[in-house]
Amino acid sequence: MEYVSVQGADIPALGFGTARMGGTETRNAVETALRLGYRHIDTAQMYGNEDAVGEAVENADVARDEVFVVTKILRRNLAYDDLQNSFEDSLDRLKMEYVDLLLIHEPSQSVPVTESVRAMNELQEAERVQHIGVSNFSLPQLQEAEAASDTPIVTNQVEYHPFTDQSQLLEYCVDNDVMLTAYSPLAVGRRLENETLIRVGKRYGKSPAQVVLRWLIQQENVSAIPKASKRQHQEENIEIFDFELTTAEMDAIFDL
């Protein structure tokens, strides 16, 4: 496993996403992922599966402090009291004393980010949260959150794959020691038959999906959280640490 190091945090570059997974499916998938070596698990209040993630981590033959657990606060829970109360509910569902990273799931139109960040900073002071971040924030919104926080915003989780342009955000993240976490890193499988991805994959004996994930984590300050309910796909996704793309190959994928 490779790691992204930002703001004093060492975060596994390849995580495991659980969006749109049901309870039993989530528990089984996370248990399998942990056995395969995943150590970065992403959930959210919105997903309705924090309890299943917590069960899987609890049942795993892995120490809690070896698993980097991320959850996110629903937009309707971003007011100060709502955020803190709903987070305690999240911890109860997860059966954990803390989470490694707490994110604002998406910006609110009604609650100032200063209010949400203040509540998150206090959770950090209480050692219920190790690190904080945001998700689905534009660059100006990220900068506003950073200005409001007493502690670093360690990540902005956004959709990122070869067919989306996040170059401006990524440049800022690299310059300011922020991690860009890529969700939907495989473009929900829509474009994996691309000729460039197939050609590069053949050189290394890898699938287009593996090429995309390698392309992502080979970029500075980028992590990726692909979702996969089947063991076969989980194994495929994690087998990306035995090859490295050339500069020309990286550029060719950037140009897609």
Q: What is the pLDDT of residue 188?
A: 73
Q: What is the dihedral of CA 131, 56, 188, 77, to 10 degrees?
A: -50
Say if residues 117 and 145 touch (Cβ distance below 8 Å).
yes
Query: Domain segments of the chain: what residues?
Result: 3-186+222-229
Neighbours of 166 (CB within 10 A): 19
10-residue mean pLDDT profile of the chain (256 residues): values are 97 98 96 98 99 98 98 99 99 99 98 99 99 99 99 99 97 99 89 94 98 99 98 98 99 96
Would you name the residues annotated as active-site residues? 47
pTM: 0.97
**What is the model's pLDDT at position 189?**
74
Q: If 0-12 CB within 10 Å is exposed, 13-18 middle and 19+ buried, where does residue 7 land?
A: middle
CATH architecture of 3-186+222-229: Alpha-Beta Barrel (3.20)
Q: What angle do CA 84, 87, 90 make, to 5 degrees?
A: 160
Please list the residues that pair with 156 across neighbouring strands: 134, 180
> In the prediction, which pLDDT does 38 show?
99
